[in-house]
Amino acid sequence: MVDHNKSTSAPAPADSGERFSKSGFIFAAIGSAVGLGNMWKFPYITGKYGGAAFFLMFTVCLLAVGLPVLMAELTLGRAGRGSVSTSFNRLTKRKGWGALGFLMILAPFLILSFYSVVAGWTMYYAARSFSGQLFSNSDYSGQFSSFIGSWQPVWWMLLALVLTAAVIIKGVSAGIEKFNKILIPGLVILLLVLVVRSLTLDGAAEGVSFFLSPDFGKLSAESALVALGHAFFSLSLGMGTMITYGAYVDKRQSLGAGTMAIGLGDLLYAFLAGLIIFPTSFAFGIEPGEGPGLVFVALPAAFAAMPLGSLFGGLFFILLAFAALTSTVGLLEVPVAFACERFGWSRGLSVTAITVLLFILGIPSAISVGGAVDGWQFGEKTFFDWMDFICSNILLPLGGLIVTVFVGWVWKHAADEAGLTSGWFRIWIFMVRYIAPILVVLVLLYSAGALDFLF
Ligand code: PHE
């Protein structure tokens, strides 16, 4: 049960009554889940790991493991009603959990420092596409490398951070909720326009079949682990976001129904994004396993070759920017809620201080990825790649493990808060106790290279 004696100096935003409306919560959580993960990362890893077979694995991982962990995070957040580490402290008397919760506050802070760099790229590309400059020179790979190799990404990252801060500073319902309620319908309209455009291109069918007719021979243990890791990333798990958002959910809202809506919304979005990217790539003879440059290098070539390409290209990058910003908002709220609560700072001060720190930390990511500054390579990875690797492959599964062990084994009142029927509760807690932690440990071992002998 909630132990308020452990409250820290100032009330957490959730303690001072900050709440989402019912629909506001669903919009905000879908906004956080749907992001660059769905539109930038998902297509190139799907391209790399075998198309439809990978999509199938991703779907299974998301439904069987992602949803139970998402439900666990929301339940934990709503019962704890604090920033991540306080929520842990309030729900158990055992020592050490608050410190583990702190890891899940650090993780979104670190992820935001490089995620906002890519968010900045999308805004730059939207601007260049609408203005037609992007299409004035057909060397798209050269354009991309000269952009990321310059200092310009630093300023575009700053723009992404400032926009995010402007939303978070307004608080939960006037900021996060309202922003998502405006952007998400816009996102859906843009998405549908682009799906129709790509499916009506000559040669689209080949792309659809690459994405949707699985070749089971391509399933492998490696692609399953990548799919599981991506299901976590895509649902914003292991990063404190869903725990923090959970703290703002009304007691009367059904968490089971919310979990379903968020999970299916995210999956549907990935599906529709696939229906844009693969038909477009195939129609213009582009290799979908291209890598992180796929949407920035390959797709502009495709847009250039279609009628009204600068309009569709611009819409595509705006879509990407919207999706990115609804996720950066979810990331920034985690450390901000913590700073308000722990240091007793006002929301304005917390947002400002954290944004300045993020800007400083983001600079090496922004300039290292394209080599604007020599010597930013550590081992075989750039600073940007290290940040991505540490966050996505280590901190995120670790966060997932912390949540599943806590909800499955340590906290004794998960059933009271979850409000599931006894049948669903049994299935849920079984997944959270046994299946999810085992699979997450496998992902961690795989990321650490400990399973290399198997592949
Ligand atoms: N889910 C987001 C995406 O798919 C990324 C994210 C991770 C956002 C963790 C918030 C927290 O892009």
> Using a 6 Å cutoff on CB, does residue 33 contact ligand 1?
yes
Pick the residue whose CA is nearest to atom 7 on ligand 1: 236
pLDDT along the chain (455 residues), means of 10: 46 83 97 94 88 94 96 97 93 92 93 95 93 90 90 96 98 96 93 93 94 86 89 95 97 97 96 94 84 83 87 92 96 96 94 98 88 64 85 90 96 93 95 96 86 77
Distance 35 CA to ligand 1 centre (A): 6
Output the CA–CA distances (angstroms, integers) from residue 144 to 47, 295, 453, in the order listed.
Answer: 20, 11, 36
Distance 5 CA to ligand 1 centre (A): 33
User: Dmax of the chain from CA atoms?
Assistant: 65
Residue 111 DSSP SS3: helix
Distance 416 CA to ligand 1 centre (A): 28
Q: For residues 330 and 340, what is the distance between their CA atoms, to the nearest angstrom?
A: 16
Distance 411 CA to ligand 1 centre (A): 26
Domain topology for 22-449: Hydantoin permease (1.10.4160)
Residue of 233, 319, 396 to mutate, ligand 1, most atoms within 8 A of C-beta: 233
Q: For residues 345 and 372, what is the distance between their CA atoms, to the nearest angstrom?
A: 37
Task: Name the residue among 30, 37, 420 with its Cα closest to residue 262.
Answer: 30
Distance 138 CA to ligand 1 centre (A): 32
* Domain ranges across the chain: 22-449
Query: pTM of the predicted model, to two decimals?
Result: 0.93
Output the CA–CA distances (angstroms, integers) from residue 306 to 28, 43, 249, 281, in the order listed.
Answer: 34, 20, 45, 12
Residue 371: the pLDDT is: 61
> Using a 6 Å cutoff on CB, does residue 329 contact ligand 1?
no
Query: In this structure, is the dihedral angle defined by the CA atoms of residues 401, 404, 408 and 412, taken in order, positive or negative?
Result: positive
Residue 373: the pLDDT is: 58
Output the CA–CA distances (angstroms, integers) from residue 214 to 52, 56, 218, 279, in the order listed.
Answer: 4, 8, 8, 16
Distance 66 CA to ligand 1 centre (A): 13
For 133-157, give one letter per residue: b (16+ CB within 10 A) or e: ebbeeeebeebbbebbeeebbbebb
Residue 369: the pLDDT is: 80
Report the first-to-last Cα separation within the chain, whole angstroms: 45
Residue 372: the pLDDT is: 55
Pick the residue whose CA is nearest to atom 11 on ligand 1: 236
Task: 283-290: list long-range contacts, CB under 8 Å, 24+ apart.
Answer: 283/198, 283/201, 283/202, 283/203, 283/204, 283/206, 283/207, 284/203, 287/47, 288/43, 288/44, 288/46, 288/47, 288/51, 288/207, 288/210, 289/44, 289/47, 289/48, 290/44, 290/47
Ligand 1 nearest atom to the CA of residue 240, by list position: 11
> Using a 6 Å cutoff on CB, does residue 404 contact ligand 1?
no
> Using a 6 Å cutoff on CB, does residue 234 contact ligand 1?
yes
Residue 216: the pLDDT is: 84
Residue 356: the pLDDT is: 98
Output the CA–CA distances (angstroms, integers) from residue 125 to 312, 321, 363, 383, in the order listed.
Answer: 12, 9, 19, 23
Distance 344 CA to ligand 1 centre (A): 27
